[in-house]
Chain A
Amino acid sequence: MSLLEINNVSKIYGELHALDKVSLKVEKGEWVAIMGPSGSGKSTLMNIIGCMDRPSEGEVLMDGIDIAKMNQKELTLIRRDKIGLVFQQFHLVNYLTAVENVMLSQYYHSIPDEKEALEALDRVGLAGRARHLPSQLSGGEQQRVCVARALINYPEIILADEPTGNLDEANEKIIMDLFHNLHNEGTTLIVVTHDPEVAQTAQRTLFLRDGKLVRETVNENFTGEIKYEDWTENK
């Protein structure tokens, strides 16, 4: 059984089919990238996988359970237990420190544990910034706090919508390296991106256009490493 199986999912806004009969499967431990032009339905798909929205039609099986018909409360529980989210904007609670933002996720999940939260920050290289407020952190650092928050509850899937969209290449590399580590530890990753270079790091890339899944490529020489032609210069 696949970890995630989507069958004929559509999301319809009035006349607009933001998603049109999309079907796909993601296995446990896979690293999948989703690409497509703006407006093609990438975020819509992510919202459905991330249990923040329900499809108009079709079924979404997570561990074999159909979440398409669940109510808001049940979706919140699935989201809390199985999913780690990283957004394009670095969404942090601005009156909580870095470590408190990570603990917030633990708090809604189970019991906050400051030690564990500090370890998660250490993993993203921010041990020294734990007591800073988001306004005192750079964009890259904020996004790393988001990654730490996403992984703190050991989610089955980490969903990232344009995680590097607002970052420079150096920070992009740090984030991609973190994803690489997570992948090596067996976490399932689904990453939405505009950036072909980011997509290349994944095992599989799905292409969306006008809400339809139009193409799928498999990365033959998958290493999980990001390859830039001018990489050394940027470093």
Chain B
Amino acid sequence: MFGRMIKGILTRQWKKMLMIGLTIALGASLATAMLSVMLDVGDKINQELKAYGANIIVSPQEASVIEDLYDVEGGDKATKAYLREDELSKVKTIFWAFNIVDYSPFISTSVKLDDGSEVKLTGSWFNHHLELATGETLDSGIRNMRSWWDIEDGDWIDEQGSGAEGECMVGTELAKKLGISVGDSLHVTGNASAADLTVKGIFDAGGDEDEYIFTTLDTAQAIGGLDGKVDTIEVSALTTPDNELSEKAAKDPGSLTIKQYETWYCTAYASAICYQLTEVITDSTAAPVRQVASSEGAILDKTELLMGLIAVLSMVGSALGICNLVTASVMDRSREIGLMKAIGAQNSSIILQVITEILITAAIGGAAGFAAGIGFAQIIGQTVFGSSIALRTMVIPIVIVAVLAITLIGCIPAIRQLLKLSPTEVLHE
């Protein structure tokens, strides 16, 4: 009988329940969309940032002076300065370490191939596993920082696998010139030693790097006789957009007052991060390489906050809406409820009925809203970030609990009203 009553109201009075269902659907869809975007947006922006590559480059001081003064490429000159490999881990110890999402060292050397031609061999990290002093771990390297590389054949070098030291990746131009493919062995002779490198992958970088050979840092150092040395460090960091203060500081931190200095140092300006990097890396200079993505770090927090607020507000809004609608519908049905009481219904069975009706409506509305919300999230993802939003499983229980809680809370005033209803007041004129 209970089932027939529920069925009766849902099939024969669905118009009354429709508004409640729609309110719940709207709330659920907004909450789903906002939560999905909120949970995914951090990754989206990080990915986007990494897709642009590094935004800070650390290089040896003398090299930059020479390059600045004479505008020459640092070759294998005797005077050439290097950074120290043993200081690399310090990058993640600076004040803004948390904002450094990725970094990778580079070392370049010239090698001779069997046919006598000279090519550039670069050693770097691919997915170098870092155990930080804080207990954090990070897989850092060009696999992330060269995410625009198109791997035409083979795969990235896996530093965590075995045999990475004997492997290399070859730029597509060079591979074409040499007529080599994945699995072939390449004999290279450098300043210090020669080695046979197995081609692990062929990449298209769309630039100079298409003519280079990439291998692990250790291998390149060994071949070039550059043990423990690093040319440059590329750093990908989330930064706050520059302003007057940061520009002034970038020219000369010494020109700031103590208070300004503190503000600057404790804000994630690119210049502040650069400054802090030079503090930990001996004889280095660091410079921001591009400004475009720099504001996105700050936008990230604000966007997440905004989405979270919208999610909460949409739920509060639908709670109020449900509250009103359910109360109105109980008032609307006061005659029916009075009648049920008159013919012997206990309060408990009427409350059970009202709650069941609303919960079924909420379940249908919530499910529809959830589906619509995933759709919204994709629309937001496509229009704002140009990519789809991954659905986090976490969103499902959050939305279910929120819909349940809000529906039940929304029913409270109606139930209190319902308990007060007396059959005499309702049934007799």
Q: Nearest CB to that of B423 among chain A residues?
A: A52
1/0 contact trace for B280-297 toward A, CB 8 Å?
000000000000000000
Q: CB < 8 Å: which of B9, B12, B344 contacts A76?
A: B344
Q: How large, as a class, is the contact surface on chain B?
A: 20 to 34
Known: A93-B339, A95-B13, A112-B1. A53 touches B424 (CB 8 A): yes
Assess the B349–A91 pair: CB atoms within 8 A. Answer: no
Taking the closest CB of chain A, its distance from the CB of B423, in whole angstroms, is: 5
In the complex, number of A-B residue pairs with CB atoms less than 8 Å apart: 77
Assess the A79–B8 pair: CB atoms within 8 A. Answer: no
* Chain A neighbourhood of B344, CB < 8 A: 76-77, 79-81, 105, 108-109
Assess the A95–B349 pair: CB atoms within 8 A. Answer: no
Question: Complex: how many Å from CA A87 to CA B12?
Answer: 24
Question: Complex: how many Å from CA A79 to CA B8?
Answer: 25
Q: How large, as a class, is the contact surface on chain A?
A: 20 to 34
Question: Complex: how many Å from CA A73 to CA B341?
Answer: 10
* Chain A neighbourhood of B428, CB < 8 A: 43, 47, 87, 161
| A interface residues with partner B (beta carbon < 8 Å) | 43, 47, 50, 52-53, 73, 76-77, 79-81, 85, 87, 89, 91-97, 100, 103-109, 112, 133, 149, 161
> Which 4 pairs show the lowest CB-CB distances between chains A and B?
A80-B344, A107-B1, A108-B344, A95-B12
Question: Complex: how many Å from CA A80 to CA B349?
Answer: 13
Q: Does B306 contact A (CB under 8 A)?
A: no
Q: Does B343 contact A (CB under 8 A)?
A: yes
1/0 contact trace for B414-429 toward A, CB 8 Å?
0000000011100110
Taking the closest CB of chain B, its distance from the CB of A142, in whole angstroms, is: 13
Known: A52-B422, A94-B336, A161-B428. A104 touches B1 (CB 8 A): yes
* Chain B neighbourhood of A108, CB < 8 A: 340, 343-346, 349
Q: Nearest CB to that of B428 among chain A residues?
A: A43
* Chain B neighbourhood of A103, CB < 8 A: 1, 4
Assess the A85–B342 pair: CB atoms within 8 A. Answer: yes
* Chain B neighbourhood of A92, CB < 8 A: 339
Taking the closest CB of chain B, its distance from the CB of A167, in whole angstroms, is: 17
Assess the B5–A104 pair: CB atoms within 8 A. Answer: yes
Q: Nearest CB to that of B11 among chain A residues?
A: A95
Beyond A104-B340, A107-B2, 14 extra complex contacts between A and B, CB < 8 Å: A43-B428, A47-B424, A85-B342, A89-B427, A91-B339, A93-B5, A95-B5, A96-B5, A97-B8, A100-B1, A103-B4, A104-B1, A108-B340, A108-B349
Give residues 1-40 of B contacting A (CB, 8 Å): 1-2, 4-5, 8-9, 12-13
Assess the B343–A85 pair: CB atoms within 8 A. Answer: yes
Known: A52-B423, A95-B12, A161-B428. A79 touches B342 (CB 8 A): yes
Assess the A87–B427 pair: CB atoms within 8 A. Answer: yes
Question: Complex: how many Å from CA A161 to CA B424?
Answer: 12
